[in-house]
Structure 1
């Protein structure tokens, strides 16, 4: 599905407000979500066996949260997009990332060591992976590995759809600076590209007040302002 650049037109001046506008005409994702989550969020604490100290530190959001709009569908123009999840303070040591196609066939899987928490953790498909196909829906799942033999591990999931944009919109992006590209992506409803691009700016320029405000505005526009102050990890 092509994006009309007129619909995505934004004031790309340096101080344009960064928000997400849900795309129009996009069907619901063609993937099946499990029963272990509600609205894309884990129903209870990340690791039930967490110590009392960890529990006391979790005064705020206690669950993993995928960085997605309320539809749980993130659009992307990339064959190798970035997926992001908020991880609360936890004693979990690892996270598992899985990507499946619409028929529930595993496309990619990896396990990563979990460092400092709380914060945002990113996952990328390796460059040698074939990547996402245009027009296809995929489900991605991030699970916390609390104990190797635990059946209590928690997970969150979401959907991703890659699609083509018009040549005119590509031209807008090519002429835009990094922050202006975030504005364009947000106005066009291309969530994954908008949030991952903004995350790079904020992580590389931690003292940039404009990036801090833009990140807060973006998350607030999809109801995730409660976790907007958490740090972004590589």
Structure 2
């Protein structure tokens, strides 16, 4: 096991697996569905153009679920790690539920957006979901009356913050992947980039990953059980 100190630059990537332990459904189950909806019907720009009311109803429900969900011990362990490492810690998440922020993480990069915000398709202003009128079938922009849409990166769209992510991948000492299968790109390629530039790579997941040949340390199991133990070991051994 690699020794981690306060000077170690740690970059973490999280996926749906860590949120599943808080009771939120993973983005796609084995049948290719998200909350019993075909992904093509609720998570593409075409779906929104075709059936905006249905898509909005879907995301209103997902937002309510995210509000009710609570961070689990895996989220809290990552907040503890950031509190210890401070500016040497960054977290990229593929999740849109906001649970990392709720757990106390501050250096969070939400590459797929957030259920907690929406934006205007006309003037592109962003608004917190709690500040818009969700009674409307299709919520309208308070500024220009354009149509609002969920601030979630859909299939066929470019993830957010890729330049910042790339810079962090080039400059981290440890890259840790938590709760993600290593299938969906571009995130699945991050571990290859980090390792190419010299990072020690760690993965925590229920199942072996598709890109396991790029992983130096693999911990199989639940993030909520493994992360608290692993991060406590890092902190305690660094203090000795």
Say yes or no: TM over 0.5.
no
* Structure with the bigger percentage of helix: 2
Larger Rg: 2
TM-score (norm 1): 0.26
Task: Name the structure, 1 or 2, with higher relative contact order (CA <8 Å, separation 6+).
Answer: 1
TM-score (norm 2): 0.25
